[in-house]
Amino acid sequence: MLSFKKLSIRKKNFILAVALLLFFCFLLTALIPPLQSPDERDHLKRAYFLSQGQVFLTAQPHKLSGGPLDSGLLEYLNFSEKYPFRPDIKVTEQDIVHLKTIPWSHKSVYAEAPGTGYYFPVLYAPQAIGLTVGRWLGLSVDRSYMLSRLSAIAAIGILLFASFLLTTPNPLVLALLILPMSLFQEAACSLDGVSTAMTILAISCFLRITQDRDKTPLSLLILLAVSVALVTSCRQHALPLLGLIFLSAAFTRRKASLIAGTVASLFTVSWTILSLKTTVFKLPLPATSASERAVHYVLHPWSFFKILLHTLGLHTVQVDYLTTFLGRLGWLDTPLPGHAYGILTAALIVLAVLSCLFTAFRNNWQARLSLGCAALVSFLLIFFAMLITWSDDAPTTIGGVQGRYFLIPALLFAYALNGNEKQEASTLCYCASLTILGGLFLFSSHEMIGVLLQRYYITP
């Protein structure tokens, strides 16, 4: 076991930063009303289905995919629908009292949750545990929901602590985790926070393997394969992570890496195909299925790139991606002040420069190049996945993409800037990075608290 006292000062600082991040997310659970994250209602349904042992969604005639849901939980979900896209409606004391008194009915009704049908549900386990414990203790739906949020935050903390013990991140990685959008999602009962933390664990395992090489323990290879499989089976644009498992064979010189990569790939591909074929996402059903569209665009790649370039060329789309990446809270209906986006963008650019070791480009270049390529492919897969599942049969643009989806490729790019923790930045760059990170965290938290209070509680 690693002793905290034996860790380097820089590693200790980043681990303490995670503790501060988790504490702020805990505070946010008291400020953010229930179910105000995009699609959080469907994510909570999926967690409940998992708590009942349901892995695949089902579909009833003329309905989208879903499953049996406790009617008390459904009442709780329906009550929260009055807030999104209605800034004139504020949370009242009567609302809070009513939410806290909604009990579990222990009677099931069918509820749709099609947007989560493509996700292998294991990463919903923390939320499912929170809901299960709440029911066992006889708590209300609201208190069970809060346990679910806290369980997700705890899981994020465990994964990040493990990741940073394996490999010290650079400042840009931490900056991406403390953006307002990231903090908001980490405090919600959705999949984003846990899947992001699991992605960081997978990247950290890979980088540690590139350092240990032939001394890599088998347990680390298994951890890499499991973490990658769990992420890629619920985040299709994370599929490039599978390549990192195979690439680890070049560093370890062991067949175990190839076996682990093959098993993880077969699992991910099998789940993806099954979920595409069994999930009813739209009614009426489109003329072509998602799998048929995927085959078409693989065989005709220029058609995909033509639509992609047209989409990226739209100014409104560019602004939308930037704001929803940095921070447009609630159901994307609560923007930050205009000046905040410029400050956040500038901070990320400066931290990217400070995180990049210009004197060590040749060190561990294979790993860094691999992460950079993975970031690019992940970026393209975001649009490919939305094109085959969300867009119409004859699309001219790719709809459904939100800026927060770019967090995984951004993290891959951030780690590619400095893929070897043995090569550390100068003391001056490190101190400057810490100062900017501290300012970024204070700025993000200040802006978030202000807009959330105005959005949900303060009447003009």
Give pLDDT tens digits for 375-407.
Answer: 999 999 999 989 987 777 678 899 889 999 999
Alpha helices in 32-177 (DSSP H): 40-51, 71-79, 93-100, 125-136, 141-166, 171-177
As a whole-number percent, the residues of the chain with pLDDT over 70 amount to: 94
pLDDT interval class at 61 (50, 70, 90):
confident
- In this prediction, residues 46-68 reach a mean pLDDT of 92
Any idea what the Cα angle at residue 220 is, between residues 215 and 222, rounded to 5°? 125
The model's pTM is 0.94
**Residue 318, pLDDT score:** 96
Residue 429 CA: distances (Å) to CA of 92, 304, 352, 353, 425: 48, 41, 11, 10, 6
Decide: residue 162, CB within 10 A, 0-12 exposed, 13-18 middle, 19+ buried: middle
User: Rounded CA gap, 262 and 254, in Å?
Assistant: 14
Position 59 pLDDT exceeds 50 = yes
Q: Hey, what are 407's tokens?
A: 């967090």
Per the model's pLDDT, the better-predicted residue between 10 and 179 turns out to be 179
Position 158 pLDDT exceeds 80 = yes
Among 112-126, 389-403, 418-432, top mean pLDDT goes to 112-126
